[in-house]
A and B are shown apart, each in its own frame.
Chain A
Amino acid sequence: MTAGRSGVLSACAACLIAGCGSIDAPTAMSVPAPGSAAASAPTQSVTLGSALAGEQAVARGLDDMPRSLDPLLVNDVPGQRIADDLFEGLTSADISGKAAPGVASSWESSADGKTWLFHLRPDARWSNGAPVTAADFVYAWRREVDPRTGAQYAEGLAPIENALAIATGNKPPESLGVAAIDQRTLRVRLNGPTPYLLDLLALQYLYPVYEPAITRYADAWVRPEHLVCNGAFVLRENVIGSRITLQKNDKYWDAAHVRLQRVTYYVLPSRADQAARFLANDLDWTDSFAANQRTWLKSIVGEQAVNSPYFGAYFLGMNVQLPPFKDNLPLRQALVLALDREPLVHYMRQGMYQPAYTWMPPLPGYELPVPDWQGLGDDARHALARRLYAQAGYSEQHPLRITLYIPSQDGDSRHFFEAITASWFSILGAEVRLYEEEFKVLAQERNLHKLPLFYDAWIGDYPDPYTFMQIRYSGNGNNNAVYSNPAFDQLIDAAGQEPDNVNRYRLFQQAERLLNDDAPYIPLYYYATRHLVKPYLRGWQSNVMDRNLSRYMYLLEHQRR
Chain B
Amino acid sequence: MLRYTVRRLLGALPTLLVIVTLAFLLLHAAPGGPFDSEKRMMPEIQRSIEARYHLDEPLWRQYLRYLGDLAHGDLGPSFQYRSTSVNEIIAQGLPVDATIGLTAITLALSIGGTVGINAALRRGTRWDYGSMAVAMAGISVPVFVVAPLLILVFAIKLHWLPAGDWVHGSPSHLLLPAVALALPYTAYIARLMRAGTIDVLNSPFIRTARAKGLPLRLIVWRHALPPTLTPLVSFLGPAIAGLLTGSIVVETVFGLPGIGRYFITAALNRDYTLVIGITVLYGALIILFNLLADLCYAWIDPRVRLR
Residues of A near any B CB (own CB < 8 A): 1-6, 11, 13-15, 65, 67-70, 73, 75, 147-152, 154-155, 167-169, 219-223, 239-243, 266-270, 272-273, 276-277, 279-282, 409, 438-445, 447, 457, 477-478
Q: Is the CB of B81 within 8 A of A68?
A: yes
Determine the chain A residues whose CB is within 8 A of the CB of B307 once the complex forms: none
A75 to chain B, nearest CB (A): 7
Is residue B163 within 8 Å, beta carbon to beta carbon, of the partner chain?
Answer: yes
Residues of B near any A CB (own CB < 8 A): 30-34, 36-45, 47-49, 52, 80-84, 88-89, 92-93, 148, 151-152, 155-156, 159, 162-166, 252-253, 255-258, 261-262, 265, 268-270
Q: Is the CB of B37 within 8 A of A443?
A: yes
The residue in chain B whose Cβ has the minimal distance to the Cβ of A221 is B83
Determine the chain A residues whose CB is within 8 A of the CB of B84 once the complex forms: 240
Q: Is the CB of A169 within 8 A of B44?
A: yes
Q: Is the CB of B269 within 8 A of A6?
A: yes
Give the 4 A-B CB pairs with smallest separation, nearest first. A440-B32, A242-B257, A280-B163, A219-B83
From A68, A148, A266, B255 is in contact (CB under 8 Å) with A266
Q: A75-B37, A440-B32 are in contact. Are A276 and B82 (CB under 8 A)?
A: no
Q: Is the CB of A443 within 8 A of B42?
A: no
Q: Is the CB of A70 within 8 A of B83?
A: yes
Q: Is the CB of A168 within 8 A of B37?
A: no
Main secondary structure of the interface of B (DSSP, over half): loop
Determine the chain A residues whose CB is within 8 A of the CB of B42 once the complex forms: 154-155, 167-168, 477
Can you show 21 pairs from A to B with CB atoms below 8 A apart? A14-B37, A15-B39, A68-B82, A73-B82, A150-B48, A152-B39, A152-B41, A154-B45, A239-B257, A242-B256, A266-B164, A268-B255, A273-B252, A277-B255, A280-B155, A280-B163, A440-B33, A440-B36, A440-B268, A443-B37, A447-B40
Determine the chain A residues whose CB is within 8 A of the CB of B45 once the complex forms: 147, 150-152, 154-155, 167
From B39, B43, B44, B268, A6 is in contact (CB under 8 Å) with B268
The residue in chain A whose Cβ has the minimal distance to the Cβ of B52 is A150
Determine the chain A residues whose CB is within 8 A of the CB of B269 once the complex forms: 5-6, 440
Determine the chain B residues whose CB is within 8 A of the CB of A439 once the complex forms: 32, 268
B208 to chain A, nearest CB (A): 56
CA distance A159 to B52 in the complex (A): 27
Q: Is the CB of A443 within 8 A of B82?
A: no
Q: A4-B37, A4-B38 are in contact. Are A279 and B156 (CB under 8 A)?
A: yes
From B47, B255, B257, A240 is in contact (CB under 8 Å) with B257
Determine the chain A residues whose CB is within 8 A of the CB of B88 once the complex forms: 240
Q: A438-B32, A444-B31 are in contact. Are A240 and B39 (CB under 8 A)?
A: no
CA distance A376 to B253 in the complex (A): 47
Q: Is the CB of B37 within 8 A of A478?
A: no
CA distance A409 to B156 in the complex (A): 27
The residue in chain A whose Cβ has the minimal distance to the Cβ of B89 is A240
CA distance A2 to B44 in the complex (A): 19
CA distance A273 to B37 in the complex (A): 25
Q: Is the CB of A147 within 8 A of B48?
A: yes
CA distance A68 to B39 in the complex (A): 17
The residue in chain A whose Cβ has the minimal distance to the Cβ of B77 is A219
CA distance A149 to B44 in the complex (A): 11
Q: Is the CB of A280 within 8 A of B253?
A: no
Determine the chain B residues whose CB is within 8 A of the CB of A277 once the complex forms: 163-164, 255
From A69, A154, A222, A280, B162 is in contact (CB under 8 Å) with A280
Q: Is the CB of A280 within 8 A of B36?
A: no
The residue in chain A whose Cβ has the minimal distance to the Cβ of B162 is A282
Q: Is the CB of A276 within 8 A of B37?
A: no
From A73, A239, A281, A443, B32 is in contact (CB under 8 Å) with A443
The residue in chain A whose Cβ has the minimal distance to the Cβ of B31 is A441
B54 to chain A, nearest CB (A): 13
- Interface-central residue, B32, B40, B93, B269, by most chain A CB under 10 Å: B40
- Interface-central residue, B33, B39, B80, by most chain A CB under 10 Å: B39
From A147, A223, A242, A443, B165 is in contact (CB under 8 Å) with A242
A456 to chain B, nearest CB (A): 8
- Interface-central residue, A5, A75, A281, A440, by most chain B CB under 10 Å: A440
From A151, A167, A220, A242, B166 is in contact (CB under 8 Å) with A242
